[in-house]
Amino acid sequence: MPPVDLIVWIVLAVIVLAGAVSAIVVSRRRASLTRSHRVELPTSSPDTSPVTASPEAAPPTPAPDVPEEAGTRLTRLRRRLAGSSNVLAQALLGIISSDKLDADTWDDFEATLIGSDLGVGPTSELVENVRRELSIDGVADPERARGVLRRELIALTDPSLDRTLRLDAEQGLPAVVLVVGVNGTGKTTTVGKLARLLVAEGKTVLLGAADTFRAAAAEQLQTWGDRVGVETVRGAEGADPASVAYEAVSAGVEKGVDVVLIDTAGRLHNKSNLMDELGKIRRVIEKRAPITETLLLLDATTGQNGLIQARVFNEVTRVTGIVLSKLDGSAKGGIVVQVQRELGVPVKFVGLGEGADDLAPFTADGFVDGLLGE
């Protein structure tokens, strides 16, 4: 018989051995469990997943927009014009289609035209001509009234004016379009829309953000440029607008683009200040390339006030074309006639909304048909 203490030692040794074995097993199991968690974690965590960093998962570079062509946008915008100026058209047609064309009728007709910002001179002319024609038989005939009104309005809008954007650059140089006007009239937006129109025609374009007065203006212009895949040259906030304009035209010359569009701030502090600023911009640009077109932005909703601004700009710089913005939602289409007469400069484009392609080349008959809802 083995002594009792030997048996006790053997039992103790077995217990210790069993404990050690089970500790090893448990720790291996834990380790394997932990490992399996570690494997799972990375794939389920968006922060650590290497997949997000792989080139396949990188967000695709947005392709530049394809702007709408001039032809299709004209048709679409004519409908919009018809909608917004229906009030005017209906009022005019309602009046001259009435059964009796007496003095009161003509007074109403005249007042409605004046209210559309047609101006006193053109209104008297129109009333006289329409009155003469319609009073011959004195018969209320809506179709005839519409025909007469259409013809007279087209004559007042002057279809003979050359409304093409002047891009006749010298050999090897880009055409340069300078866009001027009071703040808030829509210059930056119009430069962006114009870039789209030119790109849609297959032209290469570069933008110059010479509105250094408002920090967001350069940003806004660059966004327009980026959307249509066009480069924007910009300066720091408060930089000399003339130097930004110069840099932009220089870049346009070096890159051989077809057109450089220059956005300006045109704050109307006072006339001589404006003259100095625009004069300097013109002078430095023309060291690199002639300015082929100077477009003046006018907000159609500002009526007589806009006309006063237009006069000032026309005196301080050589305006060659007018862009009438915000003609959507305005029953003041008559301003087209008045501004052309006052300044002797044709309206070349109209802005009919805030959308990217809501700028259309202006035509007299398209405009009048829009006004009359045809």
Ligand X SMILES: Nc1nc2c(ncn2[C@@H]2O[C@H](COP(=O)(O)OP(=O)(O)OP(=O)(O)O)[C@@H](O)[C@H]2O)c(=O)[nH]1
Candidates 186, 208, 235, 333: give the one binding ligand X (CB under 6 A).
Answer: 186
Region class of 330: left (phi > 0), else alpha (psi between -120 and 50), else beta? beta
- If the CB atoms of residues 122 and 225 are measured against ligand X, the closer one turns out to be 225
Residues numbered 247 to 276 that lie near ligand X (CB under 6 A) are 265
For residue 346, the minimal CB distance to ligand X (Å) is 18
| Interaction pattern, residues 3-32, with ligand X; x per rule: CB under 6 A | ------------------------------
**214 forms part of the interface with ligand X (CB under 6 A):** yes
The C-alpha atoms of residue 56 and residue 221 are separated, in whole angstroms, by 31
Nearer to ligand X, 198 or 289 (CB): 198
Site size with ligand X, rule: CB under 6 A: 20
Contacts of 94-101 spanning 24+ positions with Cβ under 8 A? 96/130, 96/134, 96/145, 96/148, 96/149, 97/140, 97/141, 97/142, 97/145, 97/146, 98/140, 99/140, 100/140, 101/131, 101/134, 101/135, 101/138, 101/140
Distance, CA of 244 to CA of 232 (rounded, Å): 11
User: Could you say which of 112, 123, 157, 189 contacts ligand X (CB under 6 A)?
Assistant: 189
Shortest distance in whole angstroms from residue 294 CB to ligand X: 15
The contact mask relative to ligand X for 53-92 (x = CB under 6 A, - = no) is ----------------------------------------
CA distance 136 to 357: 45
Residue whose beta carbon is closest to ligand X: 351
- Establish if 188 lies at the interface with ligand X (CB under 6 A): yes
Count of C-beta atoms within a 10 Å radius of residue 27: 10
- For residue 170, give the DSSP letter: P
Structure tokens at 200: 């849609």
**Residues between 107 and 166 that touch ligand X (CB under 6 A):** none
**What Rg value do the Cα atoms of the chain yield, rounded?**
36
Q: Does 222 bind ligand X (CB under 6 A)?
A: no
Contact between 261 and 251 (Cβ < 8 Å):
no
Residues between 305 and 364 with contacts to ligand X, criterion CB under 6 A: 325-326, 328, 351-354, 358
Annotated binding site: 181-188, 263-267, 325-328
* Interface with ligand X (CB under 6 A): 181, 183-189, 211, 214, 217, 265, 325-326, 328, 351-354, 358
